Amino acid sequence: MMTISGVIVEPDFDLAAPTMYDIGYSLSRMERFGGHTRTSYTVLQHLFAAAELARLLEYSTRIQLLALLHDAHESVTGDIPRHWKTKDMSAQQDLIDERIFKSLGILAPSPEEHRLIKQIDDALLSVEAPSIGPVSGKVEPGLPAIAFVFSQADDFVLGPHKSGLLFNETVEELLGRLETVTMSQMSEAPSFDPQV
């Protein structure tokens, strides 16, 4: 496939990755839950919410960056609802992630970092699904940080071009603040507490 900036991203033999602009542009037009939402809510909004939740929970800059990038592969594969994602597609998305990390000069998440990102993603899902999903539901009490972050998501509705620029700028800002991560720091990742 060719991205909006003209990068050819192909499976298997090609090592190219979409640019950060490409990712922001694409994901600003891609709805969460395969488009089955009661109101517009994009994958890009979800990524910004994940990074903001990581910031509010006082996670490292690296965790904030990884939270921002955790669904970046969907700019190539599209948003695939969790229960429809095959092992083969998950493997392809992992390869795209590796290309993206390499293009940014960062390491892929450690198992502990991956666990934290999954917890952030699941916590957001617990607010997103009842709030915007096809069936209205009740958001569980006791999740103030998550509910607050979700309520701010409309701040990131800018149109594709400005979204691409904002995503690129945010990634660059986080890369600029990125601490040097040692193996001991990676093993000392904080525990997840959505009550913050």
In a domain, 24, yes or no: yes
Token pair belonging to 144: 């103030």
For residue 99, tell me if it sits in a domain.
yes
Residue 35 sits in a domain of what CATH number? 1.10.3210.10
- What whole-number distance in Å separates Cα of residue 92 and Cα of residue 77? 9
Average pLDDT, the chain: 85
Q: Does 127 map to a domain?
A: yes
Residue 55 in domain:
yes
Distance CA 25, CA 4 (A): 8
Res 194 pLDDT > 90: no
Residue 6 included in any domain: no
Task: Note whether residue 9 is domain-resident.
Answer: no
Residue 3 domain-assigned (yes or no):
no
151-170 per-position pLDDT tens digit: 666 666 678 899 999 999 99
| Residue range(s) defining the domain that contains residue 110 | 20-187
Has residue 195 got a pLDDT over 80?
A: no
40 part of a folded domain: yes
Q: What whole-number distance in Å separates Cα of residue 34 and Cα of residue 85?
A: 12
What pLDDT, in 10s, does the model give residues 20-47?
999 999 999 999 999 998 888 999 999 9
User: 176 or 195: whose pLDDT is higher?
Assistant: 176
Give the model's pLDDT for residue 183.
39
The total number of structural domains in the chain stands at 1
Lookup: tokens for 166: 């904002």
Q: CB-based contacts of 176: which residues, under 8 Å, 6+ apart?
A: none
